[in-house]
């Protein structure tokens, strides 16, 4: 394990960057509302911050509270979400809102102590950290980049369990909420500077190509549905085949996939 002196130097580096160039104006950093934090964390999964900011503002304007989202219908939620991609995230967020309100009576601590649709260990830890300012261990790509860059520079196949002890040491005595903001911003800075450490992680999986993928076809179909507002499977099939420039076999596979995920009827 590294020395206390090395951890202290590491902290100084992270804080110095945060003071100098931290992303202090991100809209979800100006609230401790667990609903809005959850919205931002779900949106940020596999999506660039620059794309999330306008969609986040649009979404919380349309659904300003977890109760409002829970009372809405999935078609309306997908309409607002349209253009952000990975539409299952919208469905999970909608289902989580209904669970938080209906099952846990908007008791967020209780809700986060249990399983919520589409809310994995990282997202749960992020909401708990940014809402309650608790020092949970939360690992995502930017944070992995930082710790691998500083503590495993010559290693490959670094496991998360190897990183966690360094995270636990580094967060001691720090403000957890601001420390994790600083880590994420520093990780984004390293990436912009050409540091590419994700492939050194044992848990790294290269994102599949979007162009020509089933995700592209699914997204195109859902955009058409949002425009028409008529989620009826037979008419969708005819409409999609007539208006979308994809092979019929791909459209059929995408429709089956969307139906399986509960995104269309």
Residues with active-site annotation: 41
- Non-local (6+) Cβ contacts of 37 within 8 A are 28, 31, 126, 127, 130, 131
Nearest to 28 by CA among 15, 38, 18: 38
Chain centroid to CA 2: how far? 31
> C-alpha dihedral over 104, 95, 76, 64, to 10 degrees?
40
Taking CB atoms within 8 Å and a gap of at least 24, the contacts of 259-262 are: 259/233, 261/88, 261/91, 262/91
- Non-local (6+) Cβ contacts of 254 within 8 A are 214, 217, 218, 221, 246
Would you put residue 195 in left (φ > 0), alpha (ψ -120 to 50) or beta?
A: beta
Sign of torsion, CA 84 142 112 61? negative
Structure-token match 């790509």, residue found = 141
As to burial, measured by CB atoms within 10 angstroms (0-12 exposed, 13-18 middle, 19+ buried), residue 229 is exposed
């Amino acid at each position: 394990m590294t020395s206390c002196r090395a951890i202290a130097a590491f902290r100084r580096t992270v804080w110095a960057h945060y003071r100098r160039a931290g992303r202090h104006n991100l809209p979800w950093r100006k609230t401790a509302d667990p609903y809005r934090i959850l919205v931002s964390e779900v949106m940020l999964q596999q999506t660039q911050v620059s794309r999330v900011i306008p969609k986040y503002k649009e979404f919380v304007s349309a659904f300003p509270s977890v109760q409002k989202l829970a009372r809405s219908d999935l078609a309306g939620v997908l309409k607002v979400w349209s253009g952000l991609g990975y539409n299952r995230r919208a469905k999970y967020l909608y289902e989580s809102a209904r669970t938080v309100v209906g099952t846990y009576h908007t008791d967020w601590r209780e809700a986060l102590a249990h399983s919520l649709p589409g809310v994995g260990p990282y997202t749960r830890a992020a909401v708990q950290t940014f809402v309650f300012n608790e020092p949970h261990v939360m690992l995502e790509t930017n944070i992995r980049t930082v710790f691998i860059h500083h503590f495993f520079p010559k290693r490959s196949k670094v496991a998360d369990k190897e990183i966690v002890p360094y995270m636990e040491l580094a967060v001691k005595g720090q403000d957890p909420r601001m420390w994790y903001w600083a880590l994420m911003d520093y990780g984004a800075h390293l990436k912009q500077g050409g540091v590419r450490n994700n492939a050194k992680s044992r848990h790294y999986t290269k994102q599949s190509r979007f162009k020509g993928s089933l995700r592209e076809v699914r997204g195109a179909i859902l955009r058409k549905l949002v425009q028409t507002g008529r989620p009826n499977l037979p008419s969708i099939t005819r409409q999609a085949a007539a208006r979308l420039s994809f092979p019929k076999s791909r459209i059929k596979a995408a429709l089956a996939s969307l139906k399986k995920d509960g995104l269309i009827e």
